[in-house]
Chain A
Amino acid sequence: MNIVVCVKQVPDTYSERRLDPGDKTLDRASADGVINELDEYAIEESLKLAEATGGTVTVLTMGPEKATESIRKALSMGADKAVHVLDDSLHGADAVQTSAALAAALDKVGFDLVVLGSESTDARMSVVPAMLAERLGLPQLTYASKVEVDGSAITVQRQAEYGYDKVEATLPAVVSVVEKINEPRYPSFKGIMAAKKKEVANFGVGDLGLAEADLGLAGAATEVVEFTPAPPREKGVVVTDEGDGGVKIADYLASQKIL
């Protein structure tokens, strides 16, 4: 089975995240980049499925030069090769455009299964997997907490508020995973060494047959009009429990008309 796993590099939550005052896009250069956490679960699930079916795993990333670090990490976990969609005209792309670029890249490389994380920690949109299913006209098997492949049949448990739905489809398909699906492996020393020699193909906008005018900030369907730091919360009251802590909270809630 030919699996492509979509991996996004995001600014580390621990570092200061900010928007660039100039073009109001995420300042990716000033923060440390890490693999979007849920994408590590996507990589792990892809590796497992490839191991079980004798398939290959290709990493697909769209992002600036710096995203190569995350690609190498995914390769060191065991993915076979990678495709990096790298083009300055993509800077400032929104979800509609990102999904268009990823769909075009997927068409070009070919696949039986696409695996994604269900949410990125920077955008937190949770839309790219569904958008890819829409663009590719493929089954949407998102929020999977369990994936089973049997020949060309695929079944997932789609996590929901009330429990889960069992969803069935035929490959090719688009899957996104939630965090409880598995435990991502750490790259081994051997894996890290091997990753250095693995192939990373760079695709530009021209290679994907996309029109430059539709891409990047200028062609985005959404825009940030302005942004401001959130006003800091006013400092509250902290008391030490002297046997009446519960009562004190009740008093406070009553004073706020919550109780």
Chain B
Amino acid sequence: MSEILVLVDHADGAVKKVTLELLTLARRLGEPAAVFVGQGYDNAKSILAEYGAAKVYVAADAELAEYVVAPKVAVLASLVQDRQPGGVLLPSSADGKEIAGRLAVRVGAGVITDAVDVRDGFVCEQSVFGGGTIVQSRVRSGVPIVTVRPNSAAPEAAPADAAEEQVSVTLSDADKAARITDRVEVEKGERPDLAEASIVVSGGRGVGSGENFAVIEALADALGAAVGASRAATDAGWYPHQYQVGQTGKTVSPQLYLAAGISGAIQHRAGMQTSKTIVVVNKDAEAPLFEIADFGVVGDLHQVVPQLTEEVKKRKA
């Protein structure tokens, strides 16, 4: 059985859920081999083993974190050349897609981004045009390189050896051309990652102001959800840009997407249409988002949302 390389998405060894989803998908395609680049492998080891990594390639050279994207490409390219894997799976994050793209050029292969499923023979399912069309696609030359959207598979535990193998690469001058000199972290609370969250609560223009986003945040916290926003809300400066959902923002596909005060413009729908369950609160019964809602309430979000928050707290207590 051929190896399927899975690039581990992590922050100092804290492994993101999407990695476990990728390992689960990789098991259908061959033998999962995780590729861990960076520091903190000790923290990651047991969870990678638990979710089925038969092998883990570890590239821990500190230099790898100093440059934009290219070092991870170098690590994967050397593994592709040496191990001839059956394919490479990466998360559909900003970095994941860029790594995949450069890797495809470097090893002479094709790349598919934003798969929502990967089946036997590396046939990939994609949801395009804002969710309107389902496409089955495949790579037909070279090793298949595929990025997969978070929440595309339910992670399943399948304990394996996670046999560790150190990898070291020599970076070329081109790999070192863009140097990271500083990392600026904006304050981030305890909420889950927007792209990965299984529940997202989003607010739009109907929220009315930046301060009023507290209503959205309170519900999100009661549900253990991430907060999202429409472009009208981010453009108004009510909520930071990186939380924007839609065509020019994030694409999310959570179990539950709850939208309050969002009309449902096509550009917004492009980023949330594939959510499993959609709940909408809007005072205008004609708001287009109701068309794709599984459950909707026509009403004032300033009444409905706080009541829901209280109700959630009560039922969870």
Contacts and interface: CB of A to CB of B under 8 A. Distances in A.
B123 A241 contact: no
Interface stretch (B26-34, B163-171, B289-297): B289-297
A139 B66 CA distance: 13
A131 interface: yes
B113 interface: yes
Interface string B173-194: 0100111111111101000010
A152 B131 CA distance: 43
Given A127-B101, A241-B300, A246-B306, A223 B182 contact: no
Most buried by A among B123, B132, B193: B132
Nearest to A133: B102
Contacts of A143: 94
Given A167-B180, A250-B308, A221 B109 contact: yes
A230 B132 contact: yes
A126 B113 CA distance: 9
Contacts of A133: 70, 102, 177-178
B290 A258 contact: no
B129 to A, nearest CB: 5
B178 A167 contact: yes
Interface in A81-136: 94-96, 99, 119, 121-122, 124-131, 133-135
Given A225-B136, A239-B298, A259-B315, A96 B105 contact: yes
Contacts of A179: 241, 248
Contacts of B248: 37-38, 119, 121, 179
Interface string A147-171: 0000000000111111111111110
Interface residues of A, number: 83
B281 interface: yes
Contacts of A247: 307-308, 311
A163 B186 contact: yes
A140 interface: yes
Interface stretch (B41-49, B50-58, B139-147, B206-214): B139-147
Given A18-B133, A127-B101, A227-B133, A222 B304 contact: no
A250 B315 contact: yes
A142 B68 contact: yes
A233 to B, nearest CB: 5
A138 B258 CA distance: 43
Nearest to A99: B105
Contact of B123 (A19, A225, A258): A225
A221 B143 CA distance: 10
B297 A249 contact: yes
23 contacts: A18-B129, A124-B251, A127-B113, A133-B177, A140-B98, A142-B68, A166-B181, A166-B182, A173-B177, A223-B140, A226-B135, A227-B134, A230-B131, A230-B132, A236-B295, A238-B296, A241-B297, A241-B299, A246-B304, A252-B295, A253-B256, A254-B315, A259-B315
Interface of B: 68-70, 73, 93-94, 97-102, 104-106, 109-114, 123, 127-142, 174, 177-186, 188, 193, 199, 223, 241-242, 247-248, 251, 255-256, 258, 266-267, 270, 277-281, 285, 290, 292-300, 303-312, 315-316
Q: Which 7 A-B pairs have the closest CB atoms?
A: A241-B299, A246-B307, A221-B110, A127-B101, A246-B308, A139-B177, A130-B98
Given A221-B111, A258-B277, 4 more contacts: A124-B251, A159-B94, A230-B131, A247-B311
